[in-house]
Amino acid sequence: MLDSRRYLIFGPAYLDVVVETAQPLLSAEPALLLDQSLAALRVTPRDDGLLVVLGPTGDLLRFILPQRDTGAAASYHLAEPVLARLRGTQAPPVQGAFTVERFCTQLGGMGAGYAAAFAGVLRAPFGTVNELPDATAGQVLHWLAQQGIRVAPAFLPDCASDSSLVLLSARGDKLAIGVRQAMLRWRAGEEERALAATADALVFCGAPNALLAEVLSWRLPAAVMCARSAAAISAPPMYCALEKNGQPPQPCCVTVSKVSLQLFWRVGCSRRMNPQSSPQLAPCWATCFPSG
């Protein structure tokens, strides 16, 4: 049991579309295992039973969906070539046709995970159509309710809810394609301020930097934790804070299923600094690497 604090989590909850195939995703590069995340500029529906991934320099991956799942047919338009980060901008395009062995949709997003772990309230953005939650939002909110996760949704007008396409192969390839319109448009407003004012602790995980900065500028008397996945941890500077008497709080360390966390607590004030450059601030810098 963690404690009795009232946690408010700012982070994503979205739809994961998971596609598994027996074939390697990079048949032309047998020695290269694909394991990365890319952004999609947009998603457009199709009516031919295919999931298609299109890159700006000729990437073309076609996934033949099972008959029962053809309603998920769509084209994902990537913001960058599939191999650009591994082979440079002059890398050849990735092309291939794949038979889908398994298809499923599931709840995704760091915000949902931390809300469950801390038994807190999740504040996450969702898209709407005609002032009502869009179909993706409806599905995600249903899953959150099934998991017993409390949510205070931030509904954004004229915006699609976020989702991810996760492509997996039996060989171990993984290509995650994120569609992030709601998260990019989400900003802190009066509803966020009212929710934060009732919380004992604020948790930011995958929330936009602009939203985090705005909430911290309110200088609320709540503890603050910033959590990032191991792949997303960046070097300082980061926000760190002191108690009102100028002494750093006790170090804290939380382990949540194969995720590395950067934690910092704030009571009364905050400022941007590099905690590793100051011995006084070192105790409130904690990074946890769970086993397994």
Question: Residue 77: which domain range?
Answer: 16-107+163-179
Instruction: Look at residues 179, 214, 238 and tell me which one is the last residue of a structural domain.
Output: 179
**Co-location of 29 and 50 in the same domain:** yes
**Co-location of 243 and 284 in the same domain:** yes
Q: What pLDDT, on the 0 to 100 scale, is given for residue 226?
A: 85
**Co-location of 189 and 45 in the same domain:** no
**Co-location of 122 and 171 in the same domain:** no
Q: What pLDDT, on the 0 to 100 scale, is given for residue 200?
A: 92
CA dist., res. 106 & res. 215, Å (int)? 30
- What rounded mean pLDDT belongs to the chain? 80
- Label residue 20 by pLDDT band (50, 70, 90): very high
Q: What pLDDT, on the 0 to 100 scale, is given for residue 89?
A: 78
CA dist., res. 83 & res. 89, Å (int)? 8
**Co-location of 197 and 277 in the same domain:** yes
Total structural domains in the chain?
A: 2
- Contact (Cβ atoms closer than 8 angstroms) between residue 153 and residue 115: no
User: Which DSSP letter does residue 221 get?
Assistant: S
Examine residue 2 and state whether it is found in any structural domain, yes or no. Answer: no
Mean pLDDT of 134-162: 96
Q: What pLDDT, on the 0 to 100 scale, is given for residue 3?
A: 63
Q: What pLDDT, on the 0 to 100 scale, is given for residue 290?
A: 28
pTM (predicted TM-score): 0.76
**Co-location of 43 and 124 in the same domain:** no
Tally helices (H) and strands (E) across the chain.
6, 20
**Co-location of 24 and 79 in the same domain:** yes
**Co-location of 222 and 169 in the same domain:** no
Per-residue pLDDT for 287 more than 60? no
Per-residue pLDDT for 266 more than 50? no
